[in-house]
Each structure stands twice: as structure tokens, then as C-alpha cells.
Amino acid sequence: LAQVVEVLSALLRLGWCGTMGRTVALWRTCDAAVIGLFLMMLSGVMLLVFQSFHFAVTVTHKAKLNGYGAWLLEKAVPTKGKQLSFDLTHVLIFAIVACLFAMNFDFTVVKKRKKKHRGIDADDTDDDDDNDDNDDDVPASKAAADASE
């Protein structure tokens, strides 16, 4: 048993080589747990804010909105008895959805793969179809006039 614990502690210290040849940084699990806890707290607060907004629109300020806002919100978010309630499952689902929406895909990897597949050097960053690499605020006509001088 002592040898198993020693091997496991050595693997934890060094990081264990997982699938696909990538090293898993197990010492980053504490960071992930803190970020996950923060994300769950943030999603719970957001659901609480939405619950109070829902209550304000459907009950408190229903007369000020002539009933249209309350009708629209009741149709969009159906609830039991005009009271929006949520539990830990809703907080977890909202946290996962918020995390998925926060992630973005790096399209430069796809462009490099396409260039490599076509036989073009993948380190070449000049793209004819990208207009966002021109950071000059100078109009094209002024730039052309300056170039001709």
C-alpha cells in the first residue's frame, strides 16, 4: 500500500501523461475548482437577478406596462403561479451553458491547416480575404495620394 501511495504521489507531482500524448497538469485542479465555484456563484446570482426581474414585471409593475410586458414574459418563461423558482440543477445548467458560450473557437488553426493542405507555407500570415489586418485609419484615397507623391 505504501508503494502505491508513493507512485500516485509521484504521478501527481510530475503530471501524468494521459491520452493523445498530452500531459495533464494535475496541480491546476485547484484553479479549476475555484473558477468552477466562482462560475456557479455567478450563475446563481444571475438567476436570482432574473427571478427578481421576472417578479417585478409580472407582479409588481404589471399595471405600468399595461399587461403586455407581463404577458410577453409569461409566454417566454412559463412558471407556476407567477413565481419563478430555481434550484441547484438550474444553477448547474446555467453555469455550463454560460461556460460553453464563453468559449470561442480559434479559426486561425483551421486557416493554417487549409494552407498546409494546399501546400502553402503555414507561417505566412498574409491573407487576401482578411480585411481586419489593416489597422490604418487613413482612407484609401489619401493613402494612394501619399504613395503617388
Predicted pLDDT at 100: 86
Q: At what angle do helices 88-102 and 29-55 cross, to 10 degrees?
A: 110
Q: Which three cell numbers stand for residue 104?
A: 470561442
Rounded to two decimals, the pTM is 0.54
Predicted pLDDT at 4: 75
Predicted pLDDT at 20: 46
Give the residues of the chain that fall short of pLDDT 50.
Answer: 17-21, 122, 128-138, 143, 145
CA 91/CA 45 separation, integer angstroms: 9
CA 34/CA 29 separation, integer angstroms: 9
Predicted pLDDT at 114: 77
pLDDT tens for 55-65 read 888 888 888 87
Per DSSP, the three-state class of 24 is: strand
Bridge partners of 24, per DSSP, are 16
* Helix H or strand E segment including 108: helix 107-118
